Amino acid sequence: MRPTVADKRQTFRELHHTGCFVIPNPWDAGSAAILQSLGFKALASSSAGMAWSQARPDYNVARDDVLAHLTALCAATDIPVNADFENGFADDPEGVARNVALAIDTGVAGLSVEDSSWAPDDPLYDFDLSVARLVAARKAIDDSGSDVFLTARSEGFFAGKPDFDDMLARITAYAEAGADCLYAPGIREEDQIAAVVEAVAPKPVNVLTFGLSVETLRKLGVRRISVGGQLARSAYADLIRAATGIVENGDFSAIQGSHVNMNNLYETYRED
């Protein structure tokens, strides 16, 4: 019997209680099924990977397309899926709340909301508005009774405002406002990661890895590790490399060793 949505949500919450786990980022239902087959315990969508699969740059996919994508990921796997829900697809708290409610209906076990406006002149929402947006997301989850796990993301290091003190103040406020997990993608230094873990303890911290091992991050107190768009980027890089050899040199050597039986791999997920 396949797990219910409620089962997946409970499992996802329990994964954060102790230890440290890797949550890889598929870009479509097929890659999600592959990652589950390899033994990962949970998955997270990738806004970048999904956008590239639609021939678009990151942050250029409409909300309804993202919702359909999340529905497909959840349907394709038996493990929890966390939604990269960008900035909630709204600037105002009310809009964030409405859209979070829609994301909950896709079956996700968790979702993240960013504090990035991506406006060229001011890429982060101001502090008070950022907290209000997180509070609105929290209320939408609570009102739904869904127990969806809420991750608050502070995007300064990705959005061109790498101010560590500001980021630390933001994630501390988000933790106090009801975030279940805190995430500041872009921080790389071990002392910075340790400071984030300490600032929001005992709440769990997610880290986007830039090469630090699982064991190193575990010792720093990190509970969850994601890879962002790196798996999708790696897959597309292999595609480009193999196809370039064909079109430029008539050389098929790059695909001669591709002997994974994809039909067998996906047989588990075939509908009766």
- Residue 271: its pLDDT value, please? 52
Average pLDDT, the chain: 94
Taking each helix axis from N to C end, the angle separating 230-249 and 29-37, rounded to the nearest 10 degrees, works out to 110
Q: Which two tokens stand for residue 154?
A: 């502070």
pLDDT (tens digit per residue) in 35-49: 999 999 999 999 999
Q: How far apart are CA 122 and CA 159, in angstroms?
A: 9
Q: How far apart are CA 260 and CA 22, in angstroms?
A: 24
pLDDT exceeds 90 at position 131: yes
DSSP code of residue 208: E
Lowest-confidence segment of 161-165, 168-172, 221-225, 252-256 by average pLDDT: 252-256
Q: Once rounded to an integer, what is the mean pLDDT over residues 201-214?
A: 96
Residue 133, sorted as left (phi over 0), alpha (psi -120 to 50) or beta, turns out to be alpha
**Type and span of the H or E element at 22:** strand 21-23
32 CB-contact burial (10 Å; exposed 0-12 / middle 13-18 / buried 19+) = buried
pLDDT exceeds 60 at position 236: yes
Q: Once rounded to an integer, what is the mean pLDDT over residues 94-115?
A: 98
- Residue 270: its pLDDT value, please? 53
- Residue 93: its pLDDT value, please? 98
Q: Tokens 């292999």 — which residue?
A: 238
Q: Once rounded to an integer, what is the mean pLDDT over residues 103-110?
A: 98
Q: How far apart are CA 25 and CA 44, in angstroms?
A: 5
Residue type, 67: L
Confidence band, pLDDT 50/70/90 cuts, at residue 258: low
Q: Which domains, ranges and CATH numbers included, belong to the chain?
A: 5-230 (3.20.20.60)
Q: Once rounded to an integer, what is the mean pLDDT over residues 79-90?
A: 98
Confidence band, pLDDT 50/70/90 cuts, at residue 1: confident
Which residues on neighbouring strands pair with residue 152, listed in sequence order?
A: 113, 182
- Residue 32: its pLDDT value, please? 97
Taking each helix axis from N to C end, the angle separating 63-76 and 93-104, rounded to the nearest 10 degrees, works out to 30
Q: Which two tokens stand for residue 163?
A: 């101010």
Q: The whole model's pTM is what?
A: 0.94
